[in-house]
Amino acid sequence: MTTPGRPGDLHPTPERVRLANGLTAVLQPHDAAEVAAVQLWVRAGARDETPEEAGLSHFIEHLLFKGTPSRGPGVIDQTISGLGGEMNAATSQDWTYFHVVLPAARLDTALDILADAAQHAAFDPVEVERERHVVLEEIRRAEDTPSAALWRVLSRGHFGDHAYGSPSSAPPRPSAACRTRPSSTTSTAPTCRTTRRWWWPGACRPPRVSRP
């Protein structure tokens, strides 16, 4: 465990804590504003997908905040925005990352929402279909962006058939990696085997918490 930096340091030393469940938490003091930022990093990305799962890590990233058994569709977004915060996520070849920023006094809310979404995402069929169109539009926009198109060409040329040669986003095919099962809270709850394979404590990078 490292020693936290002194109050007022521009770049205080992060404190690294290994939790009993296998997760590693990194805490870094932040004095510039009365806000808390919570991040979850999962050590899985596009390179970990099989050909049948292409684009699924990016798709899961889009779906994670779309609802849980205790927070219906739209509730997470309404809660975060209602408290003056923001949330976002990103997918690369090597990792998937999620973050929530809220007033420092609501740090517990940020942690609870991120933990709930990561462990209990509902993958509601209606939301899955709606978000599939969002992802397709995002892919179309990327194809119309010269810098993004050039990056894809360079990646294919350099990495060839390696996973790094394919983009992290692909047209989502959720049926290829999801099945439905009965649930006590929803009539059908798609369960992605990809999520179960990747999302265990040892696969999660440190959730970074930054607060005053």
Closest CA to 22 of 152, 207, 211: 207
Measured CA to CA, the distance from residue 157 to residue 22 in angstroms comes to: 38
Domain range 30-211, CATH architecture:
2-Layer Sandwich (3.30)
CA–CA distance, 191 with 180 (Å, rounded to integer) = 6
pLDDT in tens, 23-68: 889 999 888 889 999 999 988 888 888 877 788 888 889 889 999 9
- Convert the pLDDT of each residue in 70-105 to its tens digit: 999 999 999 999 999 999 999 988 889 999 999 999
Measured in Å, how far apart are the chain's first and last C-alpha atoms? 20
146-173 tens-digit pLDDT: 988 888 888 888 888 887 887 877 765 5
Which residues are annotated as catalytic?
61
> How far is Cα 29 from Cα 2, in angstroms, rounded to an integer?
13
